[in-house]
Amino acid sequence: MNLRYPVYSPYLNGREKALVIDCLDSTWISSKGKYVGQFEDTFASWLGAQEAITVSNGTVALHVALAALGIGPGDEVLVPSLTYIASANAVKYTGADVVLVDSERTYWQMDIEDAERGITSRTKAIMVVHVYGQATDMDAVMALAKKHSLYVIEDCAEAIGTRHGSAHVGTIGDIGCFSFFGNKTITTGEGGMVVTNNAELAKKVRHLRSQGVSSEREYWHDAIGFNYRMTNLCAAIGCAQMESINDLIAKKLQISEWYRQGLAGLPVQVHSTRPGTVHSYWMVSIVVDDPCERDALRAGLRGDGIETRPVFYPLHQMEMYAAPGENFPIAEDISRRGINLPSYPALMRDDITVICDSVRKFLARKELKLEPVLEAKT
């Protein structure tokens, strides 16, 4: 079936082609070249971070950040259960253990009270994930981290443009990690960024991402590092994307408002924005009131050429992260009822109207099917 509205499509209407061609003409196509440093500097300045280090994708950004903090075997890291699996996988790559945390109902972010209940003598860090572009309560996170002497890693893969107060997420904790996959607000195809305001931590990240090569001796390696470098080709695309970043974020916020207006009065709820934050709406997500309608609604929308995605399945439901005897009721409830709607920047108001009308049509049809059953019982 041809899709009229995919769930996401990257915005590539700027100078991406021109900068990639310039990169090809220069023959600097691997991890050296002018665009790598330019992208790092531009992103750091825009974000308000002192240091930004390009890496090959968002998952390795998390891994190298954890490694630079010294997280390893015997340590525990708190991670929300309602997140993409890369958040937890990166912890496991270090040999540390994942301790899963339930979500708060209204904003879908890590439940800080539940996080504190999970802290033990082995806990070394909190990995907050700003799920779908909404900010976690970073005031509460930083207070908890200070109380228990924990590091804070911010997984901002879905949160380019998200703010907590006046600060962009990723700049509040010890270290922040971003993804530039093809479905992110800005993209480099594959790519990521590690940001921090700690110069020594940034130095460690740069060292580890480049095979642990010595800065003092040519072709000498003084640590077991990783080949996590971004190519100059990807960085060239990133530089072009940065020229449109503010417009892209503004468009995403407009799309979320159009959805909110178009879905008003229906038995669905649009993902809420925490007061004092800017929700960047990487994905505009809804929850249906009745979980039994979620999959049927998705099928109905697909029949109209509208692609959707289910909200993430909680990690504790997957075999490798199963937590017998532990309960994560809110994460499970959000996951059962949640849908990601088409959220790409090229959508116009008429497009959102078509999508919302399709949702309305399906839900109205469900109501009509219920009426004869209700009459028969009276």
pLDDT tens-digit map of 20-35: 999 999 999 999 999 9
Take residue 120 and report the two structure tokens written for it.
């033990």
Q: What is the DSSP letter of 20?
A: H
CA nearest to 137, candidates 173, 101, 164: 164
Q: Is position 366 annotated as part of the catalytic site?
A: no
Mean pLDDT value of segment 132-136: 98
pLDDT tens, 317-363? 999 999 888 899 999 999 999 999 999 999 999 999 999 999 999 99
Q: Is the pLDDT of residue 92 over 70?
A: yes
Q: What is the DSSP letter of 170?
A: T
Take residue 286 and report the two structure tokens written for it.
């809804």
Higher pLDDT: 367 or 68? It is: 68
Q: Place 370 in a pLDDT band, splitting at 50, 70 and 90.
A: very low
Active-site choice (17, 92, 184, 203): 184
CB 177 within 8 A of CB 157: yes
Q: What is the DSSP letter of 133?
A: G
The pLDDT, as a whole number, for residue 215 is 87
pLDDT tens, 307-327? 999 999 999 999 999 988 889
Mind giving me the DSSP string for 204-242?
Answer: HHHHHHBTTB-SSSTT-B-S---B-PPPHHHHHHHHHHH
Mean pLDDT value of segment 276-289: 98
Question: Above pLDDT 90, what percent of the chain?
Answer: 93
Q: Is the pLDDT of residue 189 over 90?
A: yes
pLDDT tens, 209-262? 999 999 889 999 999 999 999 999 999 999 999 999 999 999 999 999 999 999
The pLDDT, as a whole number, for residue 378 is 34
Domain annotation for the chain: domains and CATH numbers: 16-242 (3.40.640.10), 245-366 (3.90.1150.10)
The pLDDT, as a whole number, for residue 366 is 64
- pTM for the full predicted model: 0.95
Q: What is the DSSP letter of 70?
A: T
The pLDDT, as a whole number, for residue 376 is 39
